[in-house]
Amino acid sequence: MGNRSTFGSVYFAIFGFMVLALGIVELVVVSTGGMEGASWGPLEMGGMLLWWRAIILVFAGLIYLSSVNNFLDVRQLGKSVIASIMIWIVAGMEIWARIAGSIPGGPEEGTPWFNPEFLATYGPPYMPEIYLLPLSLVILYFVGRRKKQGRLS
């Protein structure tokens, strides 16, 4: 089989297009709607760092797309790992923002310090990075597969 993986190439080509498309949509949203962003059903785009997240998604998508040829080669696999790490960092930032924003109560007098609707703040809508996070974890399978074959150098 060598350094070829049809499943990996096809999966990350499709995933790369998804990531690139979501990054472009975020760029369009921030350029038309500003930091207020937009919300469509379970998907939300907005916030102060929307430009930054959009640029990260665009480049992660481009890196995924550049890694699909000869996918199991260590250099190509490394590109996919870097793109996945970029998504993990942005998704981790969003998860941390949700956790940190859900704990404190309101600034009004007489409200408890701890937010009484703590669990309600974890419901949808979510940023695109949260939806991309579990799909990007597939790269761990390919890294483990290459490591098991003893060819991780």
pLDDT at 1 over 50: no
- Residue 23 falls within a domain, yes or no? yes
Is 31 within the bounds of a domain? yes
Tens of pLDDT along 27-58?
A: 998 888 776 777 788 888 877 788 899 999 99
- pLDDT, greater one: 48 or 112: 48
Residue 153 belongs to some domain of the structure: no
How confident is the model at residue 103, as a pLDDT? 77
Residue 71: inside a domain, yes or no?
A: yes
Beta strands in 37-144 (DSSP E): 38-40, 43-45
Q: How many domains does the chain have?
A: 1
> For residue 33, is it within any domain?
yes
1 located within any domain = no
Residue 25 lies in a domain: yes
Reported residue count of the chain is: 153
Range of the domain at 60: 6-148
**Can you give the pTM of this predicted structure?**
0.84
- 105 within domain boundaries: yes
Q: How do residues 132-151 score in pLDDT, each as one tens digit?
A: 999 999 999 988 888 887 76
